[in-house]
Amino acid sequence: MTAGLFVAMLFFAAFNTASAQSDKAVDMFKEHINKVVQKVKVEENPQEKRELLNTSFDKLLNSFNRVENMKVLSKADQSALNNLKRNITEKQNELNGLNGYKRVQNNQLNNFANFVQQDLEQADSTITISVTVLLLIIIILILL
């Protein structure tokens, strides 16, 4: 086996490992969001639905802030985290009718939860964040 082929094989193996870790981290994040959406759908009381969503938004924002305070972020990760924070803050403002948003009606809370889930799942293709930062966010979410 030539040295070039060996290096190519190592690179391929490293890329596949990193890709698998990244996919797993994204899947864990999506699973967390999905659990919240399912809880919202099961809950009958609109006030409780709203509280579940607000608590979830607060936990996400708190985890983003904690990761940010660790000062381990590259400029690209910081930019991605800022975009995620802005997105979540806008969703929370919309949920509660703050900062110019019309409050989500009680009978629309399930649809809103689905919308948030879809939006966050699509964000993973437009907002690139490192596996390390995503794993830190997930760990903090689990601990909260």
What is the domain extent for residue 85? 27-143
| Residue 6 pLDDT greater than 50, yes or no | no
The pLDDT of residue 115 is: 93
Total of domains in the chain? 1
CB neighbourhood size of 4 (10 A) = 8
Structural domain contains residue 129: yes
Q: Which helix (H) or strand (E) holds 104?
A: none
Q: Which of 3-7, 20-24, 84-88, 104-108 has the lowest mean pLDDT?
A: 3-7
Structural domain contains residue 7: no
| Residue 58 pLDDT greater than 80, yes or no | yes
43 versus 126: which is more confidently predicted? 43
Structural domain contains residue 10: no
Structural domain contains residue 115: yes
CA neighbor of 67 nearest in space, from 78, 51, 75, 83: 78
Find the DSSP H helices in the chain: 3-42, 46-69, 75-96, 109-126, 131-143
Structural domain contains residue 46: yes
The pLDDT of residue 111 is: 96
Which residue reads 């110019």 in tokens?
Answer: 100
Distance separating alpha carbons of residues 28 and 138, to the nearest angstrom: 7
Structural domain contains residue 2: no
Structural domain contains residue 22: no
Structural domain contains residue 11: no
70 versus 37: which is more confidently predicted? 37
| Residue 114 pLDDT greater than 50, yes or no | yes
Task: Work out the pLDDT band at 123, boundaries 50, 70, 90.
Answer: low
